[in-house]
Structure 1
Amino acid sequence: MTAPDPHHPDPELDRKVAERTAELTELVGHLMSCWDEERRLLARKLHDSLGSSMTALTMHLGLLAKNLTEDKARDRAAQMKGLLNNIIETNRKVQLGLWNDKLEFLGIKAALTELVAEFGQEHGLQASASLPDDDDGYARPQGVALLRCAEEGLRNVLQHARAGKVEVILDDDGEQLMLTVRDDGIGLPQGAAPSESLNCHGLRLLRERARVLGGRLTLAPRPEGGTALTMVLPRQLPGA
């Protein structure tokens, strides 16, 4: 039996590898779609059930407190109302982490605007968003991928960059969408290649999201310091 020549690739092997890669890409896309849909449904249940119940309890407690005459009773009612408000806010953040309703009902611009503003306010960073004038109603998979890219990029800035400023930029030239999260932090670890940094789980998932949609994900140092995480997607979905 003749050993395969490494200098002359086997066309049949290349074909099988390509087919297997396509199958895995399709499977990853299906799993991500199922995962996103489950997150969306869970967020909706939290909103419709727990959120509504907590809001109603707060209103009932407010009405009850008006009829209390003892100071201790009023103080206890105020404490209970504070606890309920904390639960409502925690529930809201959990819902937002699972699924941003603004993405579905108002579009990616509204979702990114809220995400960046809340990130800057919560963590004391200078955070800004530069977005297209028009929101052309991108397909849900595109909007989800872009939003997840922004979320992961901001998360990495918070955990690793030691930055004071972060920008989220969305460009649409009619043929492709490009979302960039860039910061003025310490940049990539010394000696680390950008491709190595993309091997962390969060960025690997993002890279697969981009690949399923026919796009790509890159992480690169900025000449002026810091890093830039960029997702590029074709304007038209594959197979559309």
Structure 2
Amino acid sequence: MSLYWRIFGLNAVVLGTATALLLLAPVTVSVPVLLTEAVVLVGGLGVMLVANAALLRIGLAPLVRLTRLMTTVDLLRPGQRLSVRGHGEVAELITTFNAMLERLEGERAASSARALLAQETERRRIAQELHDEVGQSMTAILLGLKRAADEAPEPLRGELQQAQEITRASLDEVRRLVRRLRPGVLDDLGLVSALTSLATEFATHTGLRVLRRFDSDLPALDHETELVLYRVVQEGLTNVARHAGATRAEVGLRRAGDTVVLAVTDDGRGLGAAAEGAGIRGMRERALFVGASLDIVPVPPGGTEIRLTVPVPRKQP
């Protein structure tokens, strides 16, 4: 039955019931209307309006749920669907919306994958240029300054040695940027070693205490999944340093059935009611790339946990 006929039928039932009561009940209306008759008529009208409103609310409830989901749906949080009950125009509308939402989530995941792959390619290119061009040029400058300092008299030697230290510090910063852009240790030594190196470097530069808890029976993951895990830890620790006001952070990696769970926890002030920034949105896009789910939950008495649940790829027979 279409929505039009459903609403028409509900109103017809209410009005028909009222008409039947007036025809069959031994009640007449005086002229002028008596107070008791007016009370009965007003009460009957109130009952009809309440019944009509209740029936319409029940009939239009699926549309209210659909409107609420349409205003709150987020393609970075996949899986939000409405249940379909019965048949008719409303059920067909909800089914169409669910299908559209599934299609949009698939297109968003595909576009995010293309963007992330392009981003990683550009990161590798920039890291290679920094290493090959800027790094080698600064190394040559450092060697030239050393030779000049060895042959220069005082006080020029001291100034050249100071320039050496500045150049060496700048070269170390360039190397650190190269490691952030392209984690070579991830390709060479694997995920656990890369996360260990990342946590150690983070603790050195920020002064925060970073704990590591990695299971020994972690399954083998493909390169894209390992890169997503690495980038999520990288962004999570960066958020801890910038916004959390924490004194301690923990990076955990464990196996849970057919999934691998990554957790970045801190003891800071927590997110509160703050809106998600670009960093968290970027982590959600990376989670979509490998079919993972990202949850950000408070940790009592204070702090935040970023939890990434990644499905373990099945072994091919």
TM-score by length of 2: 0.66
- 1:110-168 Cα offsets, whole Å, 9 max, x none, are 22112111221222211122223367663222122111211221122122222111111
Report the counterpart of residue 303 of structure 2 in structure 1: 226
Aligned AA (2:261) = M
| Residues 157 and 73 of structure 1, relative CA distance in 2, 3 Å threshold | same
Distance 1:172 1:42 in 2: 34
Unaligned runs of 5+ in 1: none
Give, in whole Å, the separation in 1 of the partners of 2:141 and 2:312. Answer: 46
Q: Residue 86 of structure 1: which of 144, 150, 169 is its match?
A: 169
1: CA distance, partners of 2:282 / 2:127: 21
Decide whether the 8 Å contact of 1:149 with 1:206 is kept in 2. Answer: yes
Identity rate of aligned residues, in percent?
Answer: 29
Match of 1:43 among 114, 120, 127: 127
Report the secondary structure of 2:132's partner residue: helix
Q: Distance in 1 between matches of 2:147 and 2:220?
A: 43
The one of 91, 103, 108 equivalent to 1:24 is 108
- In 1, distance between residues paired with 2:106 and 2:251? 31
Other structure's SS at 1:71 match: coil
Query: Which secondary structure does the structure 2 equivalent of 1:211 belong to?
Result: helix
CA change 1:38–1:134 in 2 (3 A) is: farther
CA distance 1:51–1:136, shift in 2 (3 Å): farther
The residue that corresponds to 2:211 in the other structure is 128
2:312 corresponds to 1:235? yes
Residue of structure 1 in register with 2:137 after alignment? 53
Task: Confirm or deny: 8 A CA contact 2:217 2:255 kept in the other structure.
Answer: no
User: Are the counterparts in 2 of residues 109 and 135 from structure 1 also a CA contact under 8 Å?
Assistant: no
- For this pair of structures, how many residues does the alignment match? 230
Deviates more, 1:83-92 or 1:9-18: 9-18
Q: Which structure has the highest helix share of the two? A: 2
Secondary structure class of the residue paired with 2:91 = coil
Residue 27 of structure 1 aligns with an amino acid whose one-letter code is S
Asked if structure 2 preserves the Cα contact closer than 8 Å seen for 1:107 and 1:137, the reply is no
Instruction: Output the aligned Cα RMSD.
Output: 2.5
Q: Which residue of 1 aligns with 2:29?
A: none
Q: Secondary structure, in 3 states, of the residue corresponding to 2:310?
A: strand
1:36-63 Cα distance to aligned partner (Å, 9 max, x none): 1110121122112211221233223323
SS state at 1:8 partner:
helix
Matched to 2:151, the amino acid is N
TM-score after normalising by structure 1: 0.85
Answer with 29-38 or 220-229: which moved more: 220-229
SS of the residue 1:118 aligns to:
helix
The answer as to whether partners of 1:103 and 1:111 remain within 8 angstroms in 2 is yes
Q: What SS class does the counterpart of residue 250 from structure 2 fall into?
A: strand
Alignment of 1:78-157 (within 5 A): 78-133=161-216, 138-157=221-240
User: Does 2:288 align with 1:211?
Assistant: yes
Contact 1:117–1:128 (8 Å) recurs in 2: no
* Cα distance between partner residues in 1 of 2:301 and 2:217: 30
The question of 1:161 aligning with 2:244 is answered yes
How far 1:32 moved relative to its partner?
0.7
Cα separation, 2, equivalents of 1:172 and 1:47: 36
Bigger relative contact order (CA 8 A; separation at least 6): 1
Partners in 2 of 1:132 and 1:112 — Cα distance? 13
Alpha-carbon deviation of 1:78?
0.4
**Superposed displacement of residue 88, structure 1:** 0.3
- Quick check: 2:292–2:308 contact (8 Å CA) kept in 1? yes
